Amino acid sequence: MVLRQVAEGVLIHQSEFCQSNAVVVHGRAGVLLIDPGVLGHEMACLANDLSDSGQTVVAGFSTHPHWDHLLWHARLGSAPRYGTARCAATARVRLSEPGWNARIAGLLPPDIAGQVPLDLLGLITGLPAETARIPWDGPQVRIIEHQAHAPGHAALLIEEPGVLFAGDMLSDVLIPMLDLNDTADPIEDYLAALRLLEGVAGDVDVLVPGHGSIGGADQVRARIDQDRAYVHALRDAGVPGDLRVGPSATFGKDWLPGVHERQLQHLARRSERDGTPG
Ligand SMILES: [Zn+2]
């Protein structure tokens, strides 16, 4: 059994890859599966666990158009897989580019490259813009769309029992990774997204990040504050006192500091080009 219950009717499965969390929500006729996972054998195992407990997947959802959130496994069945309109449109454009397969394969860390099934990658149905909730027969799942980490990124609030699945926001192991390609003001976009999540913090009992560990209600504001401090430090070209990229960090030691450096350099080039400080 790989599934772990984090709240009534809400279970997660954590991948060996980058502490990625897949979320299963029990509905009346089957389950909603959010960001299914990364490695083929893990998704197959998840499919087994679901069928052993008599469950089928009746809907899927991808929080954003990055490869590790767009995967699917044939054994999970052919339920509609949703995302925001911008998420689906972005995935569609990338998949229509010649050579996308090789390009994604090039993004995969070499140690897992052969284990990630790409044939069903990104086959997402976009929900109309401003759709408030995922259309399915189960607990209400509110879509909190924002521009910060990726185009059309959505956090999801399972309203009862108060579980926030934050996608690639509010991680305890990953620093904020800004969308530096698709946006005019990545810093302000990120801060606006944090304010949006802060607006629902009072409704959250359990926080599940796309990568990292589960937190309780107190973790929502703590992680928002931590991420905001990091983004402010990026904006001010300061050195963040952020433990996730500090000397005591245990996760991603060999690559996360590089992500931080590249974000700093990109923002410095951008402000030079725009002729604006910060
Ligand atoms: Zn991502």
For the chain, percent of residues with pLDDT exceeding 90? 79
pLDDT band per the 50, 70, 90 thresholds, residue 249: confident
Give distance in angstroms: CA of 63 to centre of ligand 1: 9
Q: Is the pLDDT of residue 117 over 70?
A: yes
Q: Where are the beta strands (DSSP E) in the chain?
A: 4-7, 10-14, 21-26, 31-34, 57-61, 81-84, 125-127, 141-146, 153-158, 163-165, 206-208, 215-216
Give distance in angstroms: CA of 68 to centre of ligand 1: 7
Give distance in angstroms: CA of 109 to centre of ligand 1: 15
Give distance in angstroms: CA of 269 to centre of ligand 1: 23
Q: Is the pLDDT of residue 169 over 90?
A: yes
Give distance in angstroms: CA of 168 to centre of ligand 1: 5
For the chain, percent of residues with pLDDT exceeding 70? 98
Distances (CA, A) of 91 to 70, 85, 104, 120, 144: 8, 10, 12, 12, 19
Q: Helix (H, G, I), strand (E, B), or coil: what is residue 7?
A: strand
Give distance in angstroms: CA of 20 to centre of ligand 1: 10
Give distance in angstroms: CA of 245 to centre of ligand 1: 18
Q: Is the pLDDT of residue 277 over 70?
A: no
Output the pTM of the full model: 0.94
Give distance in angstroms: CA of 224 to centre of ligand 1: 17
Give distance in angstroms: CA of 54 to centre of ligand 1: 31
- How far does CA 206 lie from the centroid of its chain? 16
Give distance in angstroms: CA of 192 to centre of ligand 1: 18
Give distance in angstroms: CA of 19 to centre of ligand 1: 13
Give distance in angstroms: CA of 11 to centre of ligand 1: 21
Q: Is the pLDDT of residue 278 over 80?
A: no
Give distance in angstroms: CA of 136 to centre of ligand 1: 25
Mean per-residue pLDDT, 72-83 = 97
Backbone angles phi, psi at 104, to 5 degrees: -65, -45
Predicted pLDDT of residue 154 = 98
Do 104 and 67 form a contact (C-beta atoms < 8 A)? yes
Mean per-residue pLDDT, 161-167 = 97
Q: Is the pLDDT of residue 260 over 90?
A: yes
Give distance in angstroms: CA of 203 to centre of ligand 1: 24
Give distance in angstroms: CA of 247 to centre of ligand 1: 24
Give distance in angstroms: CA of 28 to centre of ligand 1: 30
Give distance in angstroms: CA of 256 to centre of ligand 1: 14
Give distance in angstroms: CA of 226 to centre of ligand 1: 18
